Structures are given as structure tokens and as C-alpha cells.
Chains A and B, each alone.
Chain A
Amino acid sequence: MSHELFVAAAYGISALGILGLVAWNLIDQRARKAELADLEARGLRRRSDRADTGNR
């Protein structure tokens, strides 16, 4: 095997791993946001919501 293949494999696997981590973070974030929006749409508020202004 030529050494280029080793370099390509190292960069390829790292790119996959990091893109996977970023994607997982974004998916998790979107799902939690949707859950919060759903709960708020059903009229649920947190006890501390009186102090909140916009920064959900």
C-alpha cells in the first residue's frame, strides 16, 4: 500500500467521525427544540418562565 492511502484513510475517518458528531449534535438539538415548542404550544410553562424574556 502506498503511504498516500494511509494519509487518506486517516483524514477520511476523522472527517466522518467529526461530521457524525456535528450531525448528532444538530439532530439532538432540533429534537429538543421541537419538544419544547410542542409543550409550550400545549400551554405548559415552567415555574420560572415569568422571569424569562425570549431566550428560550
Chain B
Amino acid sequence: MSQTIPAIGRWSDLANPTRFVGFANAVVPWLAAITAAVLALGIWMAFAAPEDYQQGITVRIMYIHVPFAWLAMMCYSIMSMSAIGTLVWRHPLADVALKAAAPIGAMFTVLCLITGSIWGKPMWGTWWVWDARLTSVFILFLMYLGLIALTRALDDPGRSARAAAIVTLVGFINIPIIKFSVDWWNTLHQPASVIRLDGPTIHPTMLWPLLICALGFSLLFFTLHLMAIRTEIWRRRVTAMRRISARRADAGVA
């Protein structure tokens, strides 16, 4: 018990924006360097891996498409946890984290859709079908766009925080729908082959590059998210300082 108290203390320290900026300043350069190294290794492994007996060379698209899809869902899950932080603890950093994550999640989602489409043309014979998996991921992309607009719609971030948190939580229903869409409905998209109860069905020569790529893109997400949170803290400081300055100027004139 005595060991948990300092740990909780450190976590609540990070909830202080100034301490968070200090933490991000210390961590971001290292995280960026590790991200670059792991991504370089992952992409190299992806091109060194054997071609698939059915898909041929196009299997290489899988090494980026699948991590993009995982991250699109992970980013939304992190935003949903942040939304709970906003609604339950009313912590301003939770809202900052939600707002900062939305554009990153949108980019991963659109890249997932584009790379999937580019793979679909030679393998399925079509760029796009409205099956349950593709449609639910497209809806996720639209939700990201809506949340980007909502978190930037009002001048006062405190007012948009609550609305954005509620919309994010309502939209979380889409995440299990995306994950299980391939089991619940008859989709052109293939069912899960990595995260499944009976273990992965991919051969290790292809599974390892995929996992390293996924780790690299996850590290990229955390690096960008930390940077974006720090930038958003600065943006809010600038707004607050300008407000104080304007108030002082008004008082001076009066």
C-alpha cells in the first residue's frame, strides 16, 4: 500500500500542465528516436519477408494497412478514456488529450482506408465495397472529422470539452462493431488473423514484421500525441495571456 501512494502522486503530478510539458520535453526526443529506429526496422523486415503464395507482393501492403487499422481504433479508445476523464474528473488535460488525438486518429484512419483500397483493387478486383468492415471504418473516419470540427468550433475550450466528450463516448459503440463486423456479417474483408482466441493464423515470417511495424506506428502515435498535447497546452496559455493583456489594456484606457 505504501508503494502505491508515490505512484499515484507521480500520476497526479503529470496532470499539472506545467509538469506535463516538462515531462514531454524530456521524453519526446528519445521517443522520436526510438520510433524512427523501430519503424525503419519494421519496414525493412516487411520488404525482407517472403511473398504470399496467393497475394504475391501485395501482401507488403498488409504491414502498414493493419497497424493503421489498429491505431485508428486505439486512438479512438484513448479519446474515449479521455472523454471519461473530462466528464467524471473534469480534468482540463483530459480534454486537451482528446482534442490533440483527433487529427492523428483521422490520419491513421484515412491511410487505413486508402491502403486497403489499393490492396483491394488487385486482390478483390474492386477499390471499394460497402461491406460491414469497410463501412464501419469509414464511419469512424467521419466521426474523427466531426470531433475535429467540434473541438475547434468554440472559442472557449471548456465549453466544447463537454460536448466533444459526450459525442466521443456515444461514438465508441462503433469500435466493437468494427472489430467484430467480420464475424457478425458476411463481409468481403477477411476475418481476424492476429488477434483471435485461438492465436494468430499468420506464419511467423510474416507475423514478426507486422508486429514490429505495429510497435513502430504505436510509438509514432505516442510521440505525436505527446507533442500535440504540449502544443495545445501552449495554445491555451497564449489565449489566456492575451485575455489578461486585453483586460489590462481595457483597465488602462478606463
A and B associate in one complex: yes
- Let me know if B180 is at the binding interface, CB within 8 A: no
Interface residues of B in 102-147 (CB under 8 A from A): 103-104, 107, 110-111, 114-115, 118-119, 121-122
Q: Is the CB of A10 within 8 A of B118?
A: yes
Interface of A is mostly: helix
Number of interface residues of A (CB under 8 A): 36
Q: How many A-B residue pairs have CB under 8 A?
A: 96
Q: Is the CB of A44 within 8 A of B22?
A: no
Contacts of A56 in B (CB 8 A): 21
Contact among A3, A14, A22 for B64, CB-based, below 8 A: A14
Q: Is the CB of B111 within 8 A of A17?
A: yes
Interface pairs (16), CB distance under 8 Å: A1-B122, A3-B56, A3-B122, A6-B58, A6-B121, A10-B65, A10-B114, A11-B60, A21-B107, A28-B228, A35-B234, A35-B238, A36-B241, A44-B244, A46-B240, A56-B21
Number of interface residues of B (CB under 8 A): 39
B residues bordering A, Cβ < 8 Å? 18-19, 21-22, 25, 56-58, 60-61, 64-65, 68, 103-104, 107, 110-111, 114-115, 118-119, 121-122, 220, 224, 227-228, 230-231, 234-235, 237-238, 240-242, 244-245
Q: Give bound CA distance, A21 to B242, whole Å.
A: 28
Contacts known (A3-B57, A10-B65); A55 close to B22, Cβ less than 8 A: yes
Interface of B is mostly: helix
Q: Is the CB of B64 within 8 A of A10?
A: yes
Contacts of A44 in B (CB 8 A): 241, 244-245
